[in-house]
Amino acid sequence: MRKLNPPQEALLPIREVAKITGINPITLRAWERRYSLIEPVRTESGHRLYTYENIKTLKEVIRLTQQGVPISQIKSLLDQPKAPAIEPQTEASLENLLIESLEKADIQTVNQLLDNIIADYVMGFWQPLFSRTTLSLTENTTASQLWYSLMVPRLQSRLHLSYRQLPTDLHPIWVQCSENTHILLGILAALNLVSQGYMPLLQPNSAIQFEQLVPSLQTLHCHGVAWVHATPSPALDDWRAWTQEHPSFELFLFLNQPDMNAFGQMQVQLFDLTTFESASLPF
């Protein structure tokens, strides 16, 4: 432990740090003792005092745990050298920098960018940004494989934590990606549904089995279904027939730059995967 030496820094007792960070004193002591995440100052009588640098570290620890990083692994992440700060000013520059860094397989820069974007921007900003990046990458390339490996755990953790925002009166929605649509787009769609107050039940990627869909929805008490499809100009005849036959279920379609004229009188909540802007059809 460090000893307190003059001149004194601005120091806070453990009870104040607990109020600021939301971490109870028992946990603060455990993180110090077991994982060496922080090193508070000790007074002559042995009381812990925390610097603002300690508090900054604790806030970073909280952010990492919220992203699903085990507490036992955080020390090694904190000890890694930090890359220079990257602060693009526009959404387009962030998108370009992400793709450029992915194509170079620059894991450190991509990690830093993702952490900064998720921490500094609201979901309405980064959701279409991440979706467009996913759509722009060619499957089975190094860039796409790196993107998926870094993004899926982050968004799955975010989705799990977002369930806490839901009311106790749940409104489940069946969420399914088409066969050639990456699950990452399904998670982004699920996050969008949570923001609307729905409980997304994300299914494995596969073709929709329409004859089995209604029994599945009824068993899980689903209010509707969300279909996520990345390829432009999807076939809609089956969905058009399904909505006419089962008007009591809500239908959400998350599509890549959909043609509004293709839907006719379909009853659907439509979302553009490139912007996540929505439209209720028919108008």
Q: What is the mean pLDDT of the chain?
A: 86
Q: Residue 86: pLDDT band by 50, 70, 90 thresholds? A: low
Q: How far is CA 86 from CA 15, 120, 154, 233, in A?
A: 35, 12, 20, 37
Please spell the DSSP secondary structure of 74-119, one letter per residue.
HHHHHHSPPPPP---SSHHHHHHHHHHHHHTT-HHHHHHHHHHHHH
Asked if residue 56 has pLDDT above 70, the reply is: yes
Distance CA 269, CA 208 (A): 18
Give phi and psi for 149, each to the nearest 5: -65, -30
Q: What is the pLDDT of residues 192-223, one digit of tens each?
A: 999 899 999 999 999 899 999 999 999 999 99
Asked if residue 265 has pLDDT above 80, the reply is: no
Q: What is the pLDDT of residues 209-258, one digit of tens each?
A: 999 999 999 999 999 999 999 988 788 889 989 999 999 999 999 999 88
Report the pLDDT value the prediction gives residue 88, as an integer from 0 to 100.
53
12-69 CATH fold: Multidrug-efflux Transporter Regulator; Chain: A; Domain 2 (1.10.1660)
Mean of pLDDT values over 60-85: 76
For the chain, what are the domain ranges?
12-69, 91-155, 165-279
Q: How many degrees, rounded to 5, is the angle at CA 40 between CA 28 and CA 54?
A: 75
Cβ-Cβ contacts under 8 Å for 36 (sequence gap 6 or more)? 75
- Superfamily holding 165-279: Cobalamin-binding domain (3.40.50.280)
The model's pTM: 0.71
Q: What is the pLDDT of residues 135-184, one digit of tens each?
A: 999 888 999 999 999 999 999 988 988 887 787 788 999 999 999 899 99
